[in-house]
Amino acid sequence: MKKGMSRQQVMQIAGKPSTEVTMVHARGTCQTYILGQRDGKVETYFVALDETGHVMNSGYQTCAEYDTDPRNAR
């Protein structure tokens, strides 16, 4: 996913997310997609959407892992 893509563009590419939650430490929502399993572990991909429904970040982790308090990051 590329930053700035719309929610509709994400849906066209990735389909329906496994979960979508309102983020605690950032404004907007976060969608988690289950990609499959590797070595017995579930592989996930998240897409964070801002308040206008556009991609602001994405990557290979869960929304819970992404949406952490920045003051705790060291």
Looking at the predicted structure, is the pLDDT value of residue 28 above 60?
Answer: yes
Confidence of residue 70 (pLDDT cuts 50, 70, 90): confident
In this prediction, residues 46-53 reach a mean pLDDT of 97
Architecture of domain 7-61: 2-Layer Sandwich (3.30)
| Closest by Cα among 3, 44, 46 to 23 | 46
pLDDT at 73: 57
d(CA 11, CA 33): 11
Can you give the residue ranges of every domain in the chain? Answer: 7-61
pTM: 0.88
Looking at the predicted structure, is the pLDDT value of residue 69 above 90?
Answer: no
Looking at the predicted structure, is the pLDDT value of residue 27 above 70?
Answer: yes
